[in-house]
Structure 1
Amino acid sequence: MAELLHRWGTFAARRAWTVIVGWVVILAVTVGGFLAGFSGLVSSFDIPGTASGKVIDELQQKLPAFSGASGTVVFHTTDGAPLTDEQRGEIAALATSARTLPDVSDVIDPFQTEAQLAEQRSKIADGRAQVSAARAQLDAGQSQLDAGSAQLTAAQQQLDAARAQAQAVGFPTDQLDAQQAQLDAQRSALDAQQAKLADGRAALETQNAQLEQGAELLSYADAIRVVSADGSTAIVNVQFTVPRLELADSSKKAVVAHFEGSPIAGTEVAFSTEISQGVPQILGVGEAIGVALAAVVLIVVLGSLLAAAFPIVTALLGVAIGAMGLLSFSGIVQMASVTPILGVMLGLAVGIDYSLFILYRHRRQLLAGGDVIESIGLANGTAGNAVVFAGTTVIVALLALNVTGIPFLGLMGTAGAVSVAVAVLIAITLTPALLGLAGTRILSRRARTRAEDAAASHEAAPAATAGVHPMSTVRAVLTAVVAIVALLVVATPSLSMRLGLPDGGSEAEDSTGYRAYTLTQQAFGEGVNGPLLITATLPEGLDDAGVRSAQLSVARELAAQTDVVAVAPVAVSDDHRLAAFQIVPAEGPNSVSTETLVRDLRALPPVDGDMTLGVAGQAAINIDISEGLANVLPLYLVVVVGLSFLIMVMVFRSLLVPLVATGGFVLSLFATYGAVTAVFQWGWLGGLFGVHNPGPILSFLPVILVGILFGLAMDYQLFLATGMREAWAHGAPARLAVAQGFRAGRTVVVAAALIMVAVFSGFITSESVIIKSMGLGLALGVLFDAFVVRMLLMPAIMHLLGGSAWWLPRWLDRIVPNVDVEGSALERRHPVHHAAHE
């Protein structure tokens, strides 16, 4: 590989314009592909096979109207006064006309809903009054029947007495028999009236029972409102025909444009995140500042504006090709909005770093008096070879995200891997071409003078490690202990880390999503921002009365749960086999109590023994996604750590060095988790980082951090430890070799780490909490790993291990391939000749 890269670097330096034009053509092709294939991104995430996903599938089959995405539009008077009749009419008109928007199935007029609820309550009150009046009438009728019955009983007694007397004296009873017939007829009529009265009473009790069932069901929903108690706030519910993952961004924008396009005097309008959350901006001011800071680091390290410009230019080109190439496939593969952003993050960071590694090596050889073309070839074969290896480790780690079985996460990893691959290819092809065009102009005037003097003297420059001495053992022990303790302290908050997806309360304070969230919370309660959708499978063969009774049984069970504010039955399937309910929890979708409620509901046994419950809704979906990601994190960590160990055994031909490197990576990873938890979940330094509403950690952030930080950590380990091994292999004592290798690689590693921190930090300024947390996590991860683990902990432990650090069993040494990452053999075959003296 080193020899191939050497030849390619030499070719690129001599045929620079050919290489440059080739990359311009590739850029043009990706731009064309983007223009032809881009079809938009989605702002939601999903994991197949979750409990909430199964509920949604069931709803799609039997209650499709409730399986689509939904969101809210919140209207609020600017002065806090109740909405006027005119304002209510305009809001209702907007709600009605919005039903024709793309992908919209229904829009609920809040005032009509409130009127319907009031009408239902009125009907129940009227029904109770009617039942009471009917019961009074029945009671009066019963009293009359009882009086008639008493009269008949008295008449019967008199008739019986007369019959007895007549029979005693032998008088005929014909007249008495006629009277008896009359009494019997009256008794029959009275009995018929009594039966009729009993039937009426039974019907009345049945009607009353149904009325009370309806009243009880309605009582459970008393806390659900769409117009606030003070009349100043109203919620318009928008129901879409497609699930949230299939909802086009254009459809959401159409809803926003519709309601914002006709302003209502005296009111403000805000949209929940389900509607307002679109594709975040990929590049902004913060990212530009991060690149500018990276440029400052490059200028300081390279000492030339022209040299500093090359890594920036190549990185931006790589980002453009990688991002547009990925977006070209958005019409074929459904992409989450953060997918290209992750590619941009990595493309910028590693693109600058990889080009810097090659350029720094070339610059050092020029300062030693080397010929430009030969130096470019050698730099590409040595530093470029290390770049290929380092990039490959990052690519493999990112592609390993596919083993999680989570589609959107695997796609993010693939997108990041593609961006890194493009950065590697550009670094080993375009960078040599640009260096060939620049010649010695990448050096400052003073540096060119030094290079010319070195070439004229034909003497090798003094080694960078001249005068280097190993650290003391006491210093090594103290450094290792302090570094480990510091990382463990920072990692402590990770023990309480909760995973979730951001809700409206996590959005930027000036965003419409945050405004809608806070208005809803203030007017209706926090739980209205995260209602749960409950399904219940009903027994077969139920009539309307049976369905109502089953609904009541389920509603009672749901209302009895802790932290349930309201329960409302919302629909029953045509076959009477599935009922849907809405639950309003006590707190928001990301609260601990709501998460506990979801778990408790799922743990309930079937209601009445045969009605199984299912739980969906945004809060439940977020919990399912977070749970799924938390479950795959250990597996992915084991895969990555195991991969890391095997790769480093091959590179460093040692068992202890990989153990030290892997242990350091795990420490820096959990320190990163701890710091992110402290900021985003605990709210520490929240004002500094724009975290105004602490909450759970972005659910897929821990997995993403494992993949990316592993690859970057191996980069830094490679550029430091290979120098140590090289010095040791050339006969330096083990502890001196540690110091020499550290001195040789520290400048470029510090510069590369600072560049990465600067680029990743630029994304912290994003308004999207997803991008903000990814930017902070990656910046802190690089900071901890590069400066604490690689620059302090690893050299200290390597010093303490001494020569045993490079121990490898003989049997393993025979089967492990010899990988010359630094290209030492290439240096021996292609020594850099001095430039011709002019």
Structure 2
Amino acid sequence: MATYLYRIGRFAYRRKGTVLSIWLAILVLMGVGAATLSGPTKDTFSIPGTPAQQAQDLLAERFGDQKSAMDSLSARFVFAAPPGQTLDAPENRAAMDAVIAQIRGIDKVSESAKGEPGTPGALADPVAADAGLQQMATESAAQQGIPVDAALENARALSPLSADHTVGYVEVPFDGEFSDVDQALRDQIKAAADVGRDAGLNVQISGSAAAEAEMPGGVTELIGIGVAALVLVITFGSLVAAGLPLITAIIGIMIGSLGITLATGFVDLSSMTPTLAIMIGLAVAIDYSLFIVSRFKHELTLTDDRSEAAGRAVGTAGSAVVFAGLTVIIALAALRIVGIPFLSDMGAAAASTVFIAVLIALTLLPAILGLFGRKAFAGRVPGLSQRDAEGEDGKVTFAGRYVGGVVRRPAVGLIAGILLLGVLAIPAAKLELALPNEGSGDPSTSARQAYDLVGEGFGPGKNGPLLVVADARDATVPEGEAFGAVVEKISEQPDVLNAQVIGTNEAGDTAQILVTPRSGPSDPSTMDLVADIRGAETELHDQIGVNYGVTGQTALEGDVSERLLEALVPYLAVVVGLAFLLLMLVFRSVLVPLTATLGFLLSVAATFGATVAVFQEGWGGLISNTQPIVSFMPIFLIGVVFGLAMDYQVFLVTRMREEYVHGASANDAVAIGFRHGARVVTAAAIIMISVFAAFIAEPNSFIKSMGFALAAAVFFDAFIVRMVIIPSVMALMGDKAWWLPKWLDKILPNVDIEGDKLAKALPRERREAEPAPVS
């Protein structure tokens, strides 16, 4: 491989015009495609085949194209009376009526909701709506022969007015999809709420149509790039050299983000997908280019031919870049095996940006080096040395003294590293998972305040009702009796506050049953209730032949979280297994990939512990609004961290293997390889940590926690696992570290990542390149 990459690097350097033109054309084509073919993003978290989704599918089949609770476009206006008052007061009712009149003027409000009060589906203030429900309940009791108390209890469960008449709400349906929500609609919704606020009411709004727009991206990326620029300047002592990895990284994320934007025209992607892809793509792109530029500088100390130096840099460091990139791509692309569409799309998008970063480092970077020529390391910064970061100038460095101590006393570093990461991992035992919802939002937002008002006025279960879809087509009793039996069975559950039929389809064989729990959506008791209701179906089916399923936003989100948790171990096994095989190819060893994998597990455990401590338990005061960890963060984090962990393993340990293959003793190889790579790996890790940490400033809770977790993971893995534990283990194992069974050595292809074949092939390459002598 090193020989092929050498030729690519040398070609790109010499044919810089051609290579630069190709990448420029790709950038322009992506830009045109993104501008003309892009579509809207879609933040839904459904998983085909889950029990809640199956119930939702049955609902859509029997009741027409009824939208999922997670797909419907609506807003909830929550009214709270001033202290000491109720919403019954004439001035408060007048204020609510004024708000509702303003709502009717919003263009995208469904036509049925714009009707006059009293017409089906029309908006009415909570007091009037409650009175209407009470009257309907009395009439229904008389007509159906059911107890008035039971009818009134059902009416109170559906009432938009709290029992003490201090809190009420209005559900406002909107036409269209999430993509139709723009700032103009948000402004109209806010203006309607302001009418009530100006009249003295506490009016808060929640729902998909009223979701507040997040801060525009770009600021966090600029922070990360700024820190990366500073580290690169210190590393190279040159403004031009520091700018080269940044130029290639920016071009890479531009192409990657434009490609993702273009893809939204053909597939449904989450709004978080581009941010995650940029976060990961930016970090690896800078690091990959840094390693090649650093190696290029080192090669310039060995040859005056700059195209030769570029070829060697790509052939050696580029080999490490390819395999490091492959581990990241494998980890991200393998997310598809868990069968979760939105997670698969996130992984594919991030993997594509990593793939682009690898291609750019191997081709565009040497072309830009050719463009700058002898100016590649110009712009010297006063006070900073321009010494070769990978070379040895005879000076005793901190890295040399440090690794010398590690090699002499490897057990100390090994035990200290494991103990430190083990202590950091302890909080991970308290890990709680949930999808983001209004109840976990920032307390300063209107949506969170609306959620809290409803919980205080009606009970926590009002924020997360369940919907049971009962199918009586095969029932052995009349449909009405079958639905009554389902309601009775559900009502037996102690955590059920109310259960009632709220509608049947035209055929009369399917019913919607609304279940109000006593506990809130994020309370584990609610998901226990979902499981208990589902568990009771078999007995009821055996008795009267009725079937039912549980859906609703709470059930849908709970099923997503459960499926993600179930997929964690299989995914980890597949990713670790594939990467283990890849690392055996790289290092031609069994023990080195094994220790690399065990080190990764330590860094992941410590990362989970730190993330739980900060975001869930509130340690350090970094997060004012503590909440469960986003359900799909652990599996995504494992994929990304494994890939990044193997980056540093490949970059650092390949230098050790290179020295060992070229004749150094095992311990000398560890020491020399560490001295060669430590400064560059340190710079790369600091850059990656800075890029990830900058995303903590994002308002999105998943992006915020992911940025923190990735920054922590890189810190733990680069500075504790790869620079403390791995050198200690390598020194303890000695020559055994590079043991490989003979039978395995014969069947494994030699990819020559350390460039040994390249070193032998270079003289022949030069002879072939020289013109034949004139006779």
**TM-score above 0.5:** yes
User: Does 2:361 correspond to 1:358?
Assistant: no
1:469-508 maps to which residues of 2 (within 5 A)?
Answer: 470-471=404-405, 475-508=409-442
**1:7-55 Cα shifts (integer Å, max 9, x gaps):** 3323333343443333222111111000111111011122111101111
CA contact (8 A) 1:567 1:583 kept: yes
1:138-157 maps to which residues of 2 (within 5 A)?
Answer: none
Give the match's secondary structure for 1:654.
coil
Deviates more, 1:217-226 or 1:300-309: 217-226
CA contact (8 A) 2:463 2:521 kept: yes
User: Does 2:583 correspond to 1:580?
Assistant: no
CA contact (8 A) 2:695 2:704 kept: yes
2:625 to 685, 692, 711: 692
Please state how far the C-alpha of 1:797 moved relative to its aligned partner.
0.9
The whole-number CA distance in structure 2 between the counterparts of 1:467 and 1:706 is 32
Q: Which residue of 1 aligns with 2:335?
A: 401
2:486 to 554, 565, 568: 554
CA contact (8 A) 1:381 1:826 kept: yes
CA contact (8 A) 2:617 2:626 kept: no
Amino acid at match of 1:312: L
The whole-number CA distance in structure 2 between the counterparts of 1:94 and 1:11 is 67
CA contact (8 A) 1:508 1:514 kept: yes
CA contact (8 A) 1:369 1:452 kept: no
1:645 to 580, 593, 612: 580
1:88 to 96, 100, 103: 96
Q: Which residue of 2 aligns with 1:141?
A: none
RMSD over aligned Cα, in angstroms? 3.4
CA contact (8 A) 1:367 1:451 kept: no
Q: Which residue of 2 aligns with 1:424?
A: 358
Q: Which residue of 1 aligns with 2:320?
A: 386
Q: Which residue of 1 aligns with 2:76?
A: 73
The whole-number CA distance in structure 1 between the counterparts of 2:153 and 2:571 is 49
Give the match's secondary structure for 2:469.
strand
The whole-number CA distance in structure 1 between the counterparts of 2:373 and 2:510 is 76
Please state how far the C-alpha of 1:467 moved relative to its aligned partner.
7.3
Amino acid at match of 1:25: A
Amino acid at match of 2:274: P
CA contact (8 A) 1:299 1:308 kept: yes
Amino acid at match of 1:746: A
CA contact (8 A) 2:137 2:152 kept: no
User: Does 2:131 correspond to 1:118?
Assistant: yes
Q: Which residue of 2 aligns with 1:164?
A: none
The whole-number CA distance in structure 2 between the counterparts of 1:312 and 1:348 is 9
Q: Which residue of 2 aligns with 1:565?
A: 497
Deviates more, 1:437-446 or 1:294-303: 437-446
User: Does 2:225 correspond to 1:291?
Assistant: yes
The whole-number CA distance in structure 1 between the counterparts of 2:716 and 2:207 is 34
Q: Which residue of 2 aligns with 1:333?
A: 267
Amino acid at match of 2:93: D
Q: Which residue of 2 aligns with 1:60?
A: 60
CA contact (8 A) 1:367 1:447 kept: no
User: Does 2:736 correspond to 1:801?
Assistant: no
Q: Which residue of 1 aligns with 2:118?
A: none
The whole-number CA distance in structure 1 between the counterparts of 2:2 and 2:671 is 26
Deviates more, 1:82-91 or 1:823-832: 823-832
Please state how far the C-alpha of 1:222 moved relative to its aligned partner.
2.6
User: Does 2:643 correspond to 1:671?
Assistant: no
CA contact (8 A) 1:343 1:416 kept: yes
Amino acid at match of 1:356: L
Over 3 Å counting, the alpha-carbon distance change for 1:102 and 1:303 in structure 2 is: farther
Give the match's secondary structure for 1:328.
helix
Q: Which residue of 2 aligns with 1:731?
A: 663
Deviates more, 1:574-583 or 1:805-814: 574-583
Q: Which residue of 2 aligns with 1:154?
A: none
Please state how far the C-alpha of 1:232 moved relative to its aligned partner.
5.3
1:435-454 maps to which residues of 2 (within 5 A)?
Answer: 435-443=369-377
The whole-number CA distance in structure 1 between the counterparts of 2:579 and 2:458 is 52
The whole-number CA distance in structure 1 between the counterparts of 2:685 and 2:384 is 28
Over 3 Å counting, the alpha-carbon distance change for 1:104 and 1:487 in structure 2 is: farther
1:635-784 maps to which residues of 2 (within 5 A)?
Answer: 635-685=570-620, 687-688=621-622, 690-695=623-628, 697-784=629-716
Amino acid at match of 1:631: E
**1:485-524 Cα shifts (integer Å, max 9, x gaps):** 2222222333332322111122234434323323322333
Q: Which residue of 1 aligns with 2:22?
A: 22
CA contact (8 A) 2:79 2:167 kept: yes
CA contact (8 A) 2:576 2:597 kept: yes
Over 3 Å counting, the alpha-carbon distance change for 1:216 and 1:234 in structure 2 is: closer
In our comparison, the structure showing a higher alpha carbon Rg is 1
CA contact (8 A) 2:234 2:384 kept: no
Amino acid at match of 1:725: R
Amino acid at match of 1:603: G
Structure 1: stretches of 5+ with no match in the other structure: 129-206, 834-838
Amino acid at match of 2:723: M
Please state how far the C-alpha of 1:402 moved relative to its aligned partner.
1.5
**1:333-352 Cα shifts (integer Å, max 9, x gaps):** 11112222221111110111
1:206-245 maps to which residues of 2 (within 5 A)?
Answer: 210-213=144-147, 215-220=149-154, 222-229=156-163, 231=165, 233-239=167-173
Q: Which residue of 1 aligns with 2:277?
A: 343
Q: Which residue of 1 aligns with 2:235?
A: 301
Give the match's secondary structure for 1:575.
coil
The whole-number CA distance in structure 2 between the counterparts of 1:748 and 1:127 is 77
Q: Which residue of 1 aligns with 2:566?
A: 631
Give the match's secondary structure for 1:222.
helix
Over 3 Å counting, the alpha-carbon distance change for 1:376 and 1:441 in structure 2 is: same
Over 3 Å counting, the alpha-carbon distance change for 1:238 and 1:62 in structure 2 is: farther
Please state how far the C-alpha of 1:659 moved relative to its aligned partner.
0.9
Structure 2: stretches of 5+ with no match in the other structure: 116-120, 767-775
Give the match's secondary structure for 1:314.
helix
Give the match's secondary structure for 1:212.
coil
Over 3 Å counting, the alpha-carbon distance change for 1:571 and 1:814 in structure 2 is: same
Q: Which residue of 1 aligns with 2:771?
A: none
State the TM-score, normalized to the length of structure 1: 0.81
The whole-number CA distance in structure 1 between the counterparts of 2:387 and 2:417 is 43
CA contact (8 A) 1:399 1:414 kept: yes
The whole-number CA distance in structure 2 between the counterparts of 1:489 and 1:354 is 32
1:311 to 245, 269, 274: 245
CA contact (8 A) 1:499 1:698 kept: yes
Please state how far the C-alpha of 1:447 moved relative to its aligned partner.
9.4
**1:311-343 Cα shifts (integer Å, max 9, x gaps):** 112111111111111211212111112222221
The whole-number CA distance in structure 2 between the counterparts of 1:56 and 1:682 is 35
1:256 to 162, 180, 186: 186
CA contact (8 A) 1:764 1:775 kept: yes
Deviates more, 1:656-665 or 1:822-831: 822-831
CA contact (8 A) 2:406 2:413 kept: no
CA contact (8 A) 1:681 1:694 kept: yes
Amino acid at match of 2:254: A
CA contact (8 A) 1:491 1:673 kept: yes
The whole-number CA distance in structure 1 between the counterparts of 2:383 and 2:151 is 90
Please state how far the C-alpha of 1:6 moved relative to its aligned partner.
2.4
CA contact (8 A) 1:368 1:460 kept: no
Matched length: 741
The whole-number CA distance in structure 2 between the counterparts of 1:825 and 1:564 is 71
Over 3 Å counting, the alpha-carbon distance change for 1:229 and 1:65 in structure 2 is: farther
CA contact (8 A) 2:97 2:125 kept: no
Give the match's secondary structure for 1:579.
strand
Please state how far the C-alpha of 1:60 moved relative to its aligned partner.
0.7
2:534 to 581, 602, 605: 602
The whole-number CA distance in structure 2 between the counterparts of 1:241 and 1:539 is 32
Amino acid at match of 1:600: D
Over 3 Å counting, the alpha-carbon distance change for 1:579 and 1:453 in structure 2 is: closer
